[in-house]
Every structure is written in structure tokens, then in C-alpha cells.
Amino acid sequence: MPFTVDISLEHVGGPSAGMMFALAIVDRLDEEKLLDGRTVAGTGEINSRGEVGAIGGISFKVVAAKEDGAEAFLVPADNCAEAAAAAPEGLKLLRIETLDDAVDGLRALRDGREAPTCQG
């Protein structure tokens, strides 16, 4: 490879950080940045096939994300109902089942297109 990959996991707090960790790697490798200056949060376990699984504590995570300035939150599909019930006003909940869904959702958000959400 024409570059060095250095991964540090000392501050990663459990499997629910997996999807966001994988997404950060995709963003670094993609020439077109996914966020375009937006603050986005998310969660979800991820397996070797890129499938995102449910996590615990989603109701606390969406509130904390909004308090930290997030405008959108990537939510595992199986956590959508709980996240929607707890989400503060103004936090867009992007529904994801795979890492590809997360990338597509962020591209849609960046480009001003609709993305699947937990609200319908």
C-alpha cells in the first residue's frame, strides 16, 4: 500500500463502537469526505460481513449525541423504535442495517437527499 495504517484501540469502549470505527476508516480512504463539516454520531456492533447489530443504551446515546452537537445519528435498524422514542427534537435518526447503509445515508445527508430514517 502507498500509505501506512496505524490503528489505536485504547480509547474504544466496546463492540458498540465497531460500526463508527469502521465508518471512520472508510471516510479516511474515500477521496470524497462523507461528513462535509457536519457533526454526526452513531453506534452499532458490526460483523465481518458489514452487518450492523443492535446495541444497549441507545436512548442515552441519542440524548448525549444531541447535547454534543450532533445533527444526525446512525441507528441500527433493530434499535430504531427505542431511539425514536428517546431522540431529542432536531436529531435526525438515520436507519442502518449495514456499513454500506451508513455510507449511503451520510452521502445522502451531505448531498441534501433523503435517507432512510427511524421516523418513517
Instruction: Select which of 8, 48, 61, 92 is catalytic.
Output: 61
Report if residue 63 sits inside a domain: yes
In a domain, 9, yes or no: no
59 an active-site residue? no
User: What's the pTM value of the predicted model, to 2 decimals?
Assistant: 0.89
Question: Which CATH number goes with the domain that contains 46?
Answer: 3.30.230.10
pLDDT digits 0-9 by tens, 20-75: 988 988 888 878 888 888 899 999 999 999 999 999 999 999 999 999 999 999 99
Question: What string of DSSP letters covers 16-62?
Answer: GGHHHHHHHHHHHH-SS-SSTT--EEE--EE-TT-BEE--S-HHHHH
**Which domain range does residue 52 map to?**
15-111
- Cα separation, 57 vs 17, in Å, equals 12
Domain count, the chain: 1
The active-site residue, picked from 8, 16, 33, 66, is 16
